[in-house]
Amino acid sequence: MFNDIGPLELVTLIVLAVLVFGPDKLPKFIQDVTRTLRKIREFSDNAKNDIRSELGPEFKDFEFEDLNPKAFLRKQLDNDELGLKDIRSTFDLKREMAELTDSVNGHDTASALPAPTSSSPASAASGGRVDMTKKPEAPKDDRPPFDADAT
C-alpha cells in the first residue's frame, strides 16, 4: 500500500503528525487507528468466510483476488488447458505489424512479399508488388458550360 513512500516523505509525515496531534495525543491516536484497521480487517475476513460458506463446496478454491480481471487472466493463461501458450508463442504481433506497415508503405521485405508468379514486365519490374502510392490526377477540362444568359 505504501510502497512508493520514501524515507524523506515518511519523516515529513511523522513530523506533521507530531505537529498536528501533539506528542502527548499521538500515541493514543496511533492506537485508535490500528484498532480501527484491525476491526475493518476482521469484518472483511468474516464477510469473505460467510460468502465462501454460502457458495458451497463447489467453490472451495474460489479466491476473491480472481475477481480482478488481470489476476483472472493471468491464472487462466498459466492454467493452459486450451493451448494458449502455443498460440502466443507462434504469433509475433510486432513482426506481423512490421510486415503490414512495410507492405503498405511499399518497403521491400523478403518475408512480407510472396515470390512473383507473373511473367509480365510490369510485375517483374516492381518485384511483384502492387503500387499503392497515390498518383496526382491529371487536371480535367470538364468545366460546366458557361451560359451568359443565366447570369
**Domains of the chain: which residue ranges?**
7-62, 69-109
The number of CA neighbours under 13 Å toward the Cβ of 140 is 4
Strands, DSSP E only, in 5-94? none
pLDDT given for residue 82 in this prediction: 63
pLDDT given for residue 119 in this prediction: 46
**Residue 103 burial (C-beta neighbours within 10 Å; 0-12, 13-18, 19+):** middle
The answer to whether 51 touches 42, Cβ cutoff 8 Å, is no
pTM of the full predicted structure? 0.40
pLDDT given for residue 117 in this prediction: 47
Reduced DSSP (H G I as helix, E B as strand, rest coil) percent helix, strand, coil of the chain, to 5 = 60, 0, 40
The answer to whether 128 touches 117, Cβ cutoff 8 Å, is yes
pLDDT given for residue 111 in this prediction: 47
Low-confidence ranges of the chain (pLDDT < 50): 110-126
